Amino acid sequence: DQGRNKMAAPTLEPINSIFEYPQIHCLNEAKHGMAKDFLKAQQDGDFTKKLESDCDEQLLIVIPFNTVAKVHSLIIEGPSNGPSKIKLFSNHQSFDFTDAESKPAIQEITLSADQIKEGSGKSIPVSFVKFQNCHTLIIFVSANQSNAETTVISKLVVMGQLIKVEGVRPDPNAPKHTRVSAADFV
């Protein structure tokens, strides 16, 4: 019926452009600043960098956003020692391994080798209703596919929607990031 308003499906896009890159941090990364460099390179279209854990398989990646977003799904890729178990948290100001292991996760996901196969671009759905008002996403990688000593992530894309907040103007001092289309991530 042409007279009716049809509700359009939400437009999902990579929201890596809203990452607050200077504030990103990762516990147990092989080299200090590696997660920040890895994610920034991907936003700039460079998919050659990887994120690797240091002394064991665990990684705790804290990604603040420069605006509020709805998180819909993740694209995570890695080699044979890519992530196999992740816990997702949101909107915590400070977070460490003790918190990740003791606090209830918003969602726990077991990843198959097929889901994270490099070059697959497979979307890993998150509990969309639980990530409606997200300003920080925390990803705790607790295990990897091959029980190797370290975990490697070769791609990490957060898919979702930006939330437009009435009466709030963008921060003119917020970092400006190049827009990257979904096609650049798949």
Q: What is the CA radius of gyration of the chain?
A: 17
Tell me if 153 sits within 8 A of 83, measured CB to CB.
yes
- The per-residue pLDDT of the chain, averaged, comes to 88
Q: What is the pLDDT of residues 59-82, one digit of tens each?
A: 999 999 999 999 999 999 999 999
Average pLDDT over residues 153-167: 87
Element (H, E) at 21: none
DSSP 4-29: SPPPPPP--EE-GGGB-GGG-EEETB
Residue 185 has pLDDT above 90, yes or no: no
Helix/strand/coil for 99: helix
Both structure tokens of 65: 């956003």
Question: Looking up tokens 């969602």, which residue turns up?
Answer: 107
pTM for the full model?
0.84
Q: What is the pLDDT of residues 24-70, one digit of tens each?
A: 999 999 999 999 999 999 999 999 999 999 999 999 999 999 999 99
